[in-house]
A = this chain, B = another copy of it.
Amino acid sequence: MIKDAFATHRFTSLLLLSLLSLAMHTLSGADVASADEGMWLFNHPPKKLLKQQYQFEATDKWLEHLQRSAVRFNSGGSGSFVSPNGLVMTNHHVGADTLQKVSTPEKDFINLGFQAKTQAEEIKSPDLELNVLMSIEDVTARVEAAVKADMPLADAQKARRAVTSAIEKESLDKTGLRSDVVTLYQGGQYHLYRYKKYTDVRLVFAPEQDVAFFGGDPDNFEYPRYDLDICFFRVYENDKPAKIEHYLTWSGAGCKDGDLVFVAGHPGHTDRLNTVAHLDYLRDVSVPNSLNILRRHEVTLKGYAERSIENTRRARDDFFGVQNSRKARLGGLAGLQDPTVMKKKKQEEVELRQKIGADTKLKQYASAFDEVSTAIAETKKIRVQQILWESQVAFNSELYSKAVTLLRMAEEDAKPNGERLREYRESNRESLEQSLFSDAPIFDDLETVKLADALSLMLEMAGWNDELARKVMAGKSPNERAAELIAGTKLKDVDLRKQLAKGGKKAVDASKDSMIELARLVDPTARATRKNYEEKVDEPMKQAYGKISKARFAISGADSYPDATFTLRLAFGTVKGYTEAGKSIAPLTDIGGAYKHAESHHNVEPFKLPETWLKAKSKLKLDTPLNFVSTADIIGGNSGSPVVNRQGELVGIIFDGNIQSLVLDYVFTEEQSRAVSVHSAGIIESLRNVYGANHLADELVGKK
């Protein structure tokens, strides 16, 4: 559910200060039983709430153990340590990025699955980076001291960037840990997150996609489900399995209906605290526009994939990502287009503004709502430029993207750290290179098809007579130009990329590579657009939402959580069914249900179980729980998050939300929306009796 291949159009940095006032009422009122809302910070956990509502004591020790057992996949997902020997569990669809990259036409691990019988057989990922959150430090005071209230916007933006990069660099130098300043509550707070980083990550086990993504796109975001959406990796240090202090022990029984469960994961992005005008913009412009582009990519990739089995293999992970994002966005849009949701949002905003207006201390924040609207008006002006040139929708090419990185790296390196574009700051260099020098395969034919379609889209969006677009096309048609560009680049060669990176500005300037030349042509416009965006949209939005946040805190108190930022959060909820169209949906499914589901669809793709499962049926305990739902508050990015019980034992792994949960991007509701997990018992049962992976199951349950 998570991998959101097209997140560029959003204000990913627009995060707001506080809770919906409705939710606040619920949380602080008498009727607390229905409030499983919240993606809570680990340095601001909902201790009081858990105690009141579930008589659960979340001790610091319990929290620290869970925090350090949780793992972030930088490819876009979550996971957890599940053994002292570096074993990491995540979803198949999170691991698929690596599965795709290490597969070949002869060994298609997505299709066939993978199992390392020994550690020697574990396969190293070309570019995966895992992060474990070691500490959080509040650096708000230092950031606020650097950005003065009376600065012009451009200066404020520069000051904010400079102080952020400085904090990160200092922290890296001091601790050796990956250090990221995270903007929370949209400028209300700035926290420094320090991560232990693992970059030698090896594939241990994956089931076949047919069972990992059983039911395919039709069942995606639906329930009941019967998916074994799991994948195991192992982190190494110095070529040996890393020794892990904090890992989750496996629950014997797993969870059952009514149990309290916790989720520690990395929700990617939410828009719950946007102003109504901002939501209007998402509903009317931003989301429909990305859906059009997603559908376009979906149809283009499908057309490419269907031409042969090998094409299908090459495009699979891309295709899944696009399809998944399309369905998620569509669900989100359904929320935005639901008048009851929007009415509630409007009402809350009216009340909030009334309170702000009525309070002499808060009046200073009253203008913030209009300031957001002004920034949105600016966004509308530069939206197309931003999407095409800076987000690279005009090219949609791996090779182009690498060319831009090389070009910019050479230019940014010449600047002081605090003045660089954020991704080129010194503290991010290792991660940047991990990705830039990946030897994951790039396919010329797929690149050409994607690029040709992107150039055609560029002509549509920029306009036929746009000067830059005309230069990009060089008098050719999209198909011709794409073929020419792909034929003219050697950037597929990792050594060449390393050489250019090492050679710096001189080497890059001298390059006649077609993609470097294209990047050189486009970059001035892309940079100008970005500058415009950062100064006229991002900075004033940060300031405006910062004001709104301060007002909310003053009115509703500080017991709240910020919108999601792809950083570690704690959610909680109850294992619980729901009612849909008058039908009661049970919270748990079992292994027997998977076979029935396949049969009821005549075992036809995507409802076909793999051979291994068909052969194993008689050996399996069919009433073993396979999937379950809970009311925990999750969103894209939570994929692979561990689900634990009161004892902190692993009882499942998040892999999806139901269709009703897609509205959680904008508003929390627990009437029908549910997080969907694989059950711990179903994992062990299938590892032992479908895959004969007893060594792995033993490692999980701690059996020597």
Contacts and interface: CB of A to CB of B under 8 A. Distances in A.
A308 interface: yes
Interface in A478-496: 478-479
Interface stretch (A532-540, A601-609, A636-644): A601-609
Nearest to A291: B296
Interface in A281-309: 283-284, 288, 292, 295-296, 298-299, 302-303, 306-309
A382 interface: no
A459 B291 CA distance: 14
Helix, strand, loop or mixed for chain A's interface? helix
Contacts of A604: 309
Contacts of A337: 456, 459, 477-478
Contact of A299 (B288, B326, B456): B326
Interface string A226-266: 00000000000000000000000000000000000000000
Contact of A601 (B217, B218, B309): B309
Contacts of A216: 306
Interface string A423-456: 0000000000000000000000000000000001
A552 to B, nearest CB: 26
Nearest to A478: B337
Number of copies: 2
Given A216-B306, A295-B296, A604-B309, A284 B460 contact: yes
A306 B218 contact: yes
Contacts of A105: none
A308 to B, nearest CB: 6
A288 to B, nearest CB: 5
A313 to B, nearest CB: 12
A460 B601 contact: no
A567 B308 CA distance: 38
A441 to B, nearest CB: 21
A280 B217 CA distance: 38
Nearest to A280: B464
A463 B284 contact: yes
A338 interface: yes
A321 to B, nearest CB: 15
A334 interface: yes
Nearest to A288: B460
A299 B476 CA distance: 30
Given A284-B463, A292-B296, A308-B601, 19 more contacts: A217-B302, A217-B303, A218-B303, A284-B460, A292-B295, A295-B298, A295-B299, A299-B299, A303-B327, A306-B606, A309-B601, A334-B456, A334-B477, A334-B478, A337-B459, A338-B477, A339-B473, A339-B475, A339-B476
